[in-house]
Amino acid sequence: MTIATAPVAPRGLPDTDLDGARTAKAGTQTLDRGLDLLELAVDDAATVIQLAARSGLSRAIAYRLVGSLAARGFLAISTNGQVRGGPQLLRLRHLVQDQTDLVALARPHLEWLAQETGMSAFMGRREGDESVHMLRVPGRERVAVTTQPGTRRRLGETGLGKALMLGDGEGGWRRHFDRVAEPHRRPDWLDEMRAAVERGVILQCGPAPDHIHSVAAPVRDAAGTTVAAINVAAAAPYLDPARMQELVPLLRAAADGISQALGRAGEVAST
């Protein structure tokens, strides 16, 4: 005669705790599956059947999870059956952006950049047609650029400003360059901006009498929007064209680090 027995709990763990552990594990698996589907749908709109195939889930489970996420507003289903991010995701995105202290988030990356280059590192944001400096981390150069937070400049006059408007396109560039003072109107500025789009980094040689050179890169959020720019800047003897080229990977790495902290996925920040 076979006697059915209940599963035996591990020594020291009551049956009720074993049931709780199983329930918690099942809940975690469901959460993981739901998050996987959410990421897939946000990355590339697809039908539930396509999402099931990509995730390795059965269609029944995929339909159930998508239905739950859609009911909470995290996903939306269009009339043609395509599943995409829902309004709750947009709401959360705005809440996170409002609560993110960009200066605190960027500071360790700028400290690393100043340490690696030996030059002062800066971050600024855009306000209309101007850049506004937000943060300065000093370097080790004897003659330092000391632009302080709160300083405003026209976008077309500095490397930081040019990085902020890198995604504006030629029409936007022309509008900004038409407003800068004569010393900043280099004859090859358009070619420089086109090259910067390919490189993802601005190489700026400032005019006389200061001859402040800089290397700058945009910082982007999860949606790909330029929210800030960073640069290193120094007098020409400390930052000649050859040295500027050497610093391009470092600027990319620092900008990418900040962008990823803001939710930007994957590759080094470019346009």
Q: What CATH number does the domain containing 182 carry? A: 3.30.450.40
Identity of the amino acid at 119:
M
Identify whether 23 is part of a domain: yes
Find the mean pLDDT for residues 34-42: 85
Locate the DSSP E strands across 223-267.
226-235
For the stretch 106-152, pLDDT in tens is: 999 999 999 999 999 999 999 999 999 999 999 888 888 888 888 99
Helices then strands, each counted (H, E), the chain: 9, 8
Q: Residue 108 half-sphere exposure, CB side, CA atoms within 13 Å?
A: 6
Q: What is the mean pLDDT of the chain?
A: 84
3 confidence band (pLDDT: 50, 70, 90): very low
Same domain, 225 and 125: yes
pLDDT > 60? residue 271: no
Q: Are residues 84 and 127 in the same domain?
A: no
Same domain, 116 and 227: yes
Number of domains in the chain: 2
* Residues contacting residue 198 through CB under 8 Å, at least 6 positions apart: none
Is there a single domain that holds both residue 42 and residue 88?
yes
Interval 63-72: pLDDT, tens: 999 999 999 8
Q: Bigger pLDDT: 98 or 252? A: 252
Residue 28: exposure state from Cβ atoms within 10 A (0-12, 13-18, ≥19): exposed
Confidence check: pLDDT of 165 > 80: yes
Residue 72 in any domain: the answer is: yes
pLDDT at 19 over 70: no
The residue range of the domain holding 130 is 100-261
Mean pLDDT along residues 52-57: 90
Does one domain contain both 70 and 142?
A: no
Q: Which CATH number belongs to the domain containing residue 71 in this structure?
A: 1.10.10.10
Going by pLDDT thresholds of 50, 70 and 90, the confidence category of residue 264 is confident
15 contacts: CB under 8 Å, gap ≥ 6: 6, 9
Give the span between the Cα atoms of 86 and 236, in whole angstroms.
50
pLDDT at 6: 43
pLDDT at 37: 86
Is pLDDT at 206 greater than 90 in this prediction? no
Same domain, 205 and 111: yes
